[in-house]
């Protein structure tokens, strides 16, 4: 049902949605939509950008691959094609998502950026306002994910730096940086991979390593480190599996302290479960650091007009700074709700596995901290829960008739 009303001299079309409104047409939103389709529950999916999977299509670098084997990254009801590589490339993953949307006839409303969403406790409905529409629904599924907006840190002197400053969301490949001195700020998976890509392109790369971190080999004895970890956790406690992973890492990668990278006292899996900090899976950067093709530098004290001064007293000049400082949720900027999502970071208050359902018909998909696998699990749980309510309400309506 659709009706129109005027507010602040603007005409807003109010649309009543029978089922849930799903916000976000990335992997999480697509998974939730497909699961609802399987349950024969009507829905509406909206997306602020002009395409699905906009983060993957518009804000990722060319050499990006899935860090985990494809069987841990597939969405519900549709495996990856057999011919795809074990760790699908960016383009393979995008084609998979497009095929997924086509298979389940998912057609998002694009260009619908949410201004606010709030719950009407008197009427028992959610109101979702965009520029042109106000959608009214019984259930709201937040599927915008943990990586909606680039994190742009405030670093002393950065505004005075006269060189080029970009976030990794703007970086595509190292072709334009050949021969240039580049400082990569951030040493997570993205920072390490961008540094490696720049190195292969002939740039002079320095990598800021401010904190302690775990770096693990991507594979152990030809098997995915992640898959091996998941298998071992079925039989052994986390701390014992951590010891095994650190031993393998020491044998394969060597002692990272010798290249300026200290490990946390807590093991990688325990650290992930307690703080959410993901270990880095090495794809070749460590070898480049050992050969001095990539230089590890300490935390930044301040930027200068031509370079940076570091916490250990050293200084250097750079032509480009690339901020590999990650992403964050943007939910807090538009969701007028304080019990399910944190106002500070835009993530769910309850940790995994109790993060996916709130009060008054609000749900989250893709906020588990468990990547694509977690999003798939969320989507199935959310669809089952909404479907049980939908079927109950439809049955009740039929009895009344």
- Enumerate the domain spans of the chain: 13-148+329-400, 151-323
Q: Per-residue pLDDT averaged across 282-299, rounded? A: 94
Q: Is 284 left (phi over 0), alpha (psi -120 to 50) or beta?
A: left
* Band of pLDDT at residue 210, cut at 50, 70 and 90: confident
pLDDT tops 80 at residue 396: no
Q: What count of other Cβ atoms lies within 10 Å of the Cβ of residue 164?
A: 15
pLDDT of residue 337: 85
Q: Decide the pairing of beta strands 116-120 and 125-129.
A: antiparallel
pLDDT of residue 398: 43
Compute CA distances 313 → 261, 299, 302, whole Å.
18, 10, 11
| Cβ–Cβ < 8 Å for 183, 203 | no
pLDDT of residue 354: 86
Higher-pLDDT residue of 347 and 130 is 130
pLDDT tops 50 at residue 336: yes
Percent above pLDDT 70 for the chain: 95
DSSP string, 46-105: E-SSSSSSHHHHHSS-TT-B-SS-GGGTPPTT-PPPTTS-SS-BHHHHHHHHHHHHHHTT
From 3.50.50.60, 3.30.70.890, 3.30.70.330, 3.30.300.20, which CATH number describes the 151-323 domain?
3.50.50.60
For the four alpha carbons of 300, 305, 307 and 311, in that order, the dihedral sign comes to negative
pLDDT tops 90 at residue 114: yes
pLDDT tops 60 at residue 124: yes
pLDDT tops 70 at residue 28: yes
Which CATH superfamily does the domain covering 13-148+329-400 fall into? FAD/NAD(P)-binding domain (3.50.50.60)
Q: Do domains 13-148+329-400 and 151-323 have the same CATH topology?
A: yes
Higher-pLDDT residue of 110 and 131 is 110
Per-residue pLDDT reduced to its tens digit, 253-278:
999 999 999 999 999 999 998 888 89
pLDDT tops 60 at residue 5: no
- Token reading at 139: 């259930």
pLDDT tops 50 at residue 335: yes
Q: d(Cα 143, Cα 363) in Å, to the nearest integer?
A: 9
């Amino acid at each position: 049902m659709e009706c129109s009303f005027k507010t602040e001299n603007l005409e807003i079309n109010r649309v009543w949605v029978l089922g849930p409104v799903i916000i976000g047409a990335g992997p999480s939103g697509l998974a939730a939509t497909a699961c609802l389709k399987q349950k024969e529950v009507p829905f509406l999916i909206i997306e602020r950008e002009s395409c699905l999977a906009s983060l993957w299509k518009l804000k990722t670098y060319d050499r990006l691959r899935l860090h985990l084997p494809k069987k841990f990254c597939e969405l519900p009801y549709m495996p990856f094609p057999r011919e795809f590589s074990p760790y699908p490339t960016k383009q393979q993953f995008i084609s998979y998502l497009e095929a997924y949307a086509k298979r389940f006839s998912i057609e998002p409303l694009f260009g619908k950026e949410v201004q606010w969403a709030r719950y009407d406790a008197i009427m028992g409905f959610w109101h979702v306002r965009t520029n042109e529409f106000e959608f009214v629904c019984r259930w709201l599924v937040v599927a915008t994910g943990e990586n909606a907006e680039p994190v742009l840190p405030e670093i002393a002197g950065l505004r005075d730096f006269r060189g080029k400053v970009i976030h990794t969301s703007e970086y595509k490949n190292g072709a334009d940086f050949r021969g240039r001195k580049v400082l990569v700020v951030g040493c997570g998976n993205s920072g390490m991979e961008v540094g490696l890509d720049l190195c292969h392109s002939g740039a002079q790369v320095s990598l800021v390593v401010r904190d302690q971190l775990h770096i693990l080999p991507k594979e152990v004895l030809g098997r995915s480190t992640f898959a091996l970890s998941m298998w071992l956790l079925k039989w052994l406690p986390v701390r014992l599996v951590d010891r095994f992973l650190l031993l393998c890492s020491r044998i394969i990668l060597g002692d990272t302290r010798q290249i300026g990278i200290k490990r946390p006292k807590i093991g990688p899996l325990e650290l992930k479960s307690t703080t959410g900090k993901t270990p880095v899976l090495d794809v070749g950067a460590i070898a480049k650091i050992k050969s001095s093709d990539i230089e590890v530098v300490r935390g930044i004290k301040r930027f200068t007009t031509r370079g940076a001064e570091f916490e250990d007293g050293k200084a250097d000049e750079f032509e480009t700074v690339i901020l590999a400082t990650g992403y964050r949720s943007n939910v807090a900027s538009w969701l007028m709700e304080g019990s399910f999502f944190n106002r500070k970071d835009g993530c769910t208050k309850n940790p995994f596995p109790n993060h996916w359902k709130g009060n008054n018909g609000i749900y989250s998909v893709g906020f588990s901290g468990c990547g694509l696998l977690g999003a798939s699990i969320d989507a199935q749980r959310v669809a089952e829960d909404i479907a049980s309510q939908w079927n109950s309400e439809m049955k009740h309506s039929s009895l009344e008739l």
